Amino acid sequence: MREFGKKYRLSLIISASLFLALLSGDTAWTGAPGAFSPGVIVAQTGFEKKKDDILNRYREKKETVVRSPEEMKRMLGDIQKKIKEKNMHFVVAINEMMKYKIEQITGAQVPRHIERDARVQSELGEKLWKEFMDKYRKYMRERKDLDRSDRKKRRDERAYYDELTQDEEKKDEYAFKEKEKIEEEKKEEEKSDESIIDEEKVDETRTDIENAPSPDSVSFTWLSRNKMTPAKYQGLCGICWAFTSAAVIESNFLIRKNLSLDLSEQHMLDCAESEQAVYRGGQVVTVKQRAGTCAGGWYGPVFEYYKNRSAVLESHLPYQFREGTCVSSRSTSYRIAAWGYIRSDAGIPAVREMKEALCMYGPIAACVKVTPALQAYRSGVFDEFAECRGERDINHAITIVGWDDQKGAYLVKNSWGAQWGENGYFWIKYGCNNIGYGAAWCVINSME
Q: Say what the pLDDT of residue 152 is.
A: 53
Measured CA to CA, the distance from residue 107 to residue 394 in angstroms comes to 10
Question: Given CA atoms 422, 424, 430, 434 in this order, what sign does their dihedral have?
Answer: positive
Q: Say what the pLDDT of residue 32 is.
A: 35
Compute the chain's Rg from CA coordinates: 27
Which of 79, 9, 121, 47 has the alpha carbon at shortest distance from 378? 79
Mark 260-299 as b/e (b = at least 16 C-beta within 10 Å). Answer: ebbbbbbbbbbbbebebebeeeeeeeeeebebbbbebbbb
Measured CA to CA, the distance from residue 318 to residue 132 in angstroms comes to 32
Measured CA to CA, the distance from residue 367 to residue 348 in angstroms comes to 9
Whether domain 103-134+211-443 has CATH 3.50.50.60: the reply is no
Question: Given CA atoms 260, 378, 353, 285 in this order, what sign does their dihedral have?
Answer: negative
- β-bridge mates for residue 283, sequence order: 280
The 3-state DSSP class for residue 204 equals: helix
Measured CA to CA, the distance from residue 150 to residue 143 in angstroms comes to 10
Contact assessment for residue 373 and residue 383, using Cβ atoms and an 8 Å cutoff: no
Contact assessment for residue 305 and residue 273, using Cβ atoms and an 8 Å cutoff: yes
Q: Say what the pLDDT of residue 130 is.
A: 95
Using 50 as the pLDDT threshold, list the residues of the chain that sit under it: 1-48, 50-55, 193-195
User: pTM for the whole thing?
Assistant: 0.77
pLDDT digits (tens, 9 = 90+) for 162-201: 555 555 555 555 555 666 666 666 666 555 544 455 556 6
Residue extents of the structural domains in the chain: 2-62, 103-134+211-443, 136-204
Q: Which amino acid makes up residue 371?
A: T
DSSP string, 79-108: HHHHHHHTT--EEE---GGGGS-GGGS--B
pLDDT digits (tens, 9 = 90+) for 67-101: 999 999 999 999 999 999 999 999 999 999 999 99
